[in-house]
Amino acid sequence: MAKKISNVLTAYGKKVAEIGVAIEITPQMVPRKAITRFMKLVAINVDDPRNQNMTRYSLGQILAMAFFAVLGGELTFMDMEDFCKEHRKFLKKVLLLPDERTPCHDTFSRVFSAIKMDQLEQVTVAVILERLGDLRKALKIDDGGMRHLSVDGKVLRGSGRKRGTDEEVPDAQALHIFSNTEGVCIATELIAEKTNEIPVAQRLLGTLDLRNTLVSFDALHTQKQTVAIIREGKGHYVGALKGNQQFLEQEASLFFTEKDTLRMRDNPTQYYETLEKAHNQVEKRSFYLAKVNNKTNNVFVNWAGLKSIICYQKHMYNVVSGKETTEIRYYITSLSDVAVCAEGIRGHWGILCEIYFNVKELGETALQTFEIQVA
């Protein structure tokens, strides 16, 4: 996410430089709450390795000045220094600097080389999501009352080979956490192999504010520790089952006999259905919900907050060939609202579009970084 923001801001800065637009920003135009919130989060979450007896500016002040400079079209530390000098009165008033002196380019260079970028990424993501949430409220956009995050990982396109040679190299994999509500990827991290997704996802989820949030994931991430972390963060989950957890998928299927599903169809709290036509194909999606008592001694007892099992049946009919196919999948969830679960399951695949563009954007630089990490 930090790389993505940096790329966007750099491109924006280049555009400003090309067309020669002068951006005039007054202190009254600055969202003070956002700046104050950013500097507070920096103070709490980003380690400051500097000798505090020899510092003039707080870490939050320096990072805020750097962001202002980048938004103003500056691309280097020298440019940042010049920008801050030119706007020193403005920065003093907005950031409460001790005087009108501003950092030199060496200061910016030392700070950015010393801080931990993953910590800065977490702070930046938190502030952006908060601002997007406020914007949705201001525009009266109904998001259904619950934020939706998707967790998934994919192989980077073009990895697993070196161009022009027959040399075999490991596939480069990346884990993504995508906000379906906001339409942004809030975390992307390169991983060495598929199974490494699990601890990376658990670490990243542990750093996020998951209150009033539904987290969806595939069968690989249906792990007891993962759901425990989500519940500890006050979030909810819907996770796929695919035989990776002993007896869990088999046990889940027992809740949905033909007699059970017929009964559930008459109960709107247990059944949800959609019908769509696309590409000469009619798709009927049926979602059944069965509540589970995980307090008894059964296979669900150690899954934190588990309330229900979802049976998802997807029936497809091709109007040209007449061919019919049916897929059946099972999910565990901490929710008891079948409609919310259905939207979470369907919405999860929105992450694939973001993964495609992220992977395309990472390019050769990311692959080279990956090769260095696994060497």
pLDDT digits (tens, 9 = 90+) for 226-265: 999 999 999 999 999 987 777 889 999 999 999 999 999 9
- Written out in words, the top-level CATH class of the domain with range 142-366 is alpha beta
pTM over 0.75: no
Confirm if 197 and 221 have CB atoms less than 8 A apart.
yes
DSSP strand pairing (213-217 vs 236-241): parallel
Domain-by-domain residue ranges, the chain?
Answer: 2-125, 142-366
Among all chains, which residue has been given the structure tokens 């309330």?
A: 307
Amino acid at 221: H
Q: How confident is the model at residue 173 (pLDDT cuts 50, 70, 90)?
A: confident
Following CA atoms 128, 43, 235, 227 in sequence, which dihedral angle do they give, to the nearest 10 degrees? 120
Backbone angles phi, psi at 141, to 5 degrees: -90, 120
Compute the chain's Rg from CA coordinates.
Answer: 25
The per-residue pLDDT for 314 is 93
| 176 SS3 class | strand
Q: How confident is the model at residue 193 (pLDDT cuts 50, 70, 90)?
A: low
The per-residue pLDDT for 180 is 85
Provide the token pair at 328: 């059946």
The per-residue pLDDT for 39 is 87
Confirm if 201 and 210 have CB atoms less than 8 A apart.
no
Confirm if 201 and 221 have CB atoms less than 8 A apart.
yes
